[in-house]
Structure 1
């Protein structure tokens, strides 16, 4: 999926997600919030109408109370005097009081006064009322009325009851309309039977007792209030109808807001996609196309056009800079390979690889040169090797193969016979590369040591002649023998150093693991007073043991040392005698980090391995407790030279260091080793001096200095 497709898909997902969230928010919050507001409004409307009805009720009850407890009324109920009747019980009085019907009767049922046809209701009132009890509420017979009934008593309230006084107000459509003029919420009062009230879920616990609201549809909310009639028998239902103005208008606003938001989102998406394509995707496509072209054509001289100084422009500049660096590194590598091939030629050595599974072998040009053959000749390296090998020495090959399969390495010298009849002595040195327990490759070097062997044989003949010299020259003879031994060791040292050079020349085919393992092997060979050699690699903030030439090393021991404790490695090697370490010192902390690794060690010499002036790790050269000798200054100098070689290889492997400087350091290190192993080089050993002089000429040094 392309970037613009991912961006567009992401925007669609974000838009849909926002719409879903907004929809859920609208459905479960805003609309519910609007409904809640309208429900509260409906309850308020119902309460307002109830308050208006209560005011009507209170007005009627107060008016009745004034008349029923008036002493003149009390007297009229006793003597029915016409004066009270003519002056008070008048139609005009009732109209002024907004009373529709009046009825006064005695306890025996005799009607003393009637107005508005109230006498028709006497049977209902007479059978239902009780002495010392007041009544008020709605009553529906011919029409719905608000009725109040009280006993007729004197103003003190202590006199005996002389009958009943009833007042009522009609409560039909006209009266309801008058209330609606004050508060324009439609409402009705309906008669409801007991069964119907139970079915509707209303309570009947007294007048104006309980109210509830219900949503009828999208336009109306109904309010209900159930209450008893005048005598607590028949029930009435007050019903209001509140229009859902908030909900409908809010829904319309939300719908408009949704459409408006969608329009803005659509426009924003279009603008965003256009801007992304123009300023991001299109420039990235240009960068990608140029990079693919470079990969396909390998035209490292191609460059990305830079448009603007934004992040993509910076990316293009970085890619161009990277291409410049690659070109420079390739040129440096070509020069380095040329120098290393020259070094291989001058050192008369070659590098080879062999894969047992396929029996495929690779030789360098230097190795073909040792056999005085051209790399273009048709025979395979394997055929050439066994063809030129002396038959009587082929057991060396069998022993070498067995050594490799056991995980070791081998080193031997054999002869070959050239087509012109000449004989050469070649030194073979190799080790195996394993994948798990499977041997996948054998890598090694071959060196022409004919001159060294001939020198050794000549020395042997000289030694035999010296044995016949008079006993008085015995001391000189021993001295010459020592010199011969030094030369022999020097020859082997030079061979190993040249072998190491060959290994370095194959950095393209080799790897750091092979080199460091070889460096450990050569370190054990060159440094006299050590028995073990290891390499600690700096990983994060610790130095961890990664390579070792220590037999019977337990897999459970993986020494780790905190990086700050090895900080002095940046400036110089570290030499630690473990039995002299002061408790609590930095060396004691290193000892604690190494743990059981140093239990059988007497002393260790840590040589820094650096890459670009940064510490890559440390070459550790170690002497056992049981070894009688001690690490000497010349051992340290050799170790430092090996550290320089290792650092130079690591620098070359990273293509960050100048290869000519590496070559000089390598050969100077070999000259130092020559001086260490033969302090008489400058006058007492012509053969050794010849090697030193030849190496100095290869460095193009001044002949006088050489």
Structure 2
């Protein structure tokens, strides 16, 4: 009888612990894989957003030239002074473009100029490229030629600065995309893989033993996808595997303790107390409440078993909390990452509607990050990003939202303060940066461009952020005009 009881207790205990282990380990594996997929998705959004940023910057530049009265007069009168002053190869080199075309209203080439960045000299712009780009009326983006050359281009109508006259032609700017520039700015190691006809793909994730291999499909106006690849250490997945190994050891120790308890043999006392443990463990599994603990009284073997089960549950809870923190915060700056920021921004929008309070957003872009990366080091570039993040955080309240969109871009949201209040906040930030730069020993200045926008009822999050992004580019353009 005693042997049957001991055998029954041993088997049932093994089953309970085995089921508990399988349930937790399988769910942890799924969660860790899910977070790896989410990290790849954030990486894809950051890269795609950078392509949008490149085309938006070129669009701003092209629009400025298209609305310039001197450009309008040049198309009308073919003024050679305009060519000498503005259309030399060296002039467009300072704009960072390879080719500039000016056409009349019939699409005929009025003037074109090119510059080879590698040879540092002028070249004749290809006529075929102009023909191809003319089909994209007043657009900006990426174009892949038949020779698989990747170009960032922008087309804008030529009119007067007041916008009162009809367009008499187009101005088109284009430059050859360099993957090395993208990697420098974003701090990535993305590689070129292929160019394929456009499909429905956005990105692919392949998780191996300790690596996460990504493919990113970037669409273009030429119905071709630029396919990029990169490989990252699967540190979240490795963390999960290590935690599961710890759980196995904890289970083994607990099972050994259980066998010792059974061998002592106080059947009735053991059966009653073990049944309570079994019920509690089953409730924890059913409710998935890892914060719950067993009540420990006494100093005997069963109390020791309860303590070890509590240690086991606490270990799982701590590892999950670490995982949540790793998935919610930007590793470099310590502020919220894009995914978490978007989630919290959605809650702020709902709260704004419920409380009928104003919600303002601000898109912040670091000025001169590429200059710092190119002229000093990527460590200095990382320090610049972290310094700006720290300053923005110091000027935000606990109820305000600050997160990193990716690269050198941040977003802030304020519930309660209106547009005027937010302007005052950023005026204080600007004054602080000026004072900081005066006293700084760094060989470069900390500068930002920003765009503030009010949330409009029923506006989507993407529209809200894009509107602030547009305002930021206006601010950046205004500063360039002031400098010139």
TM class, shorter-length: 0.3 to 0.5
Q: Which has the larger radius of gyration?
A: 1
Higher relative contact order (CA 8 A, sep 6+): 2
| TM-score calculated relative to the size of structure 2 | 0.47
| TM-score calculated relative to the size of structure 1 | 0.33
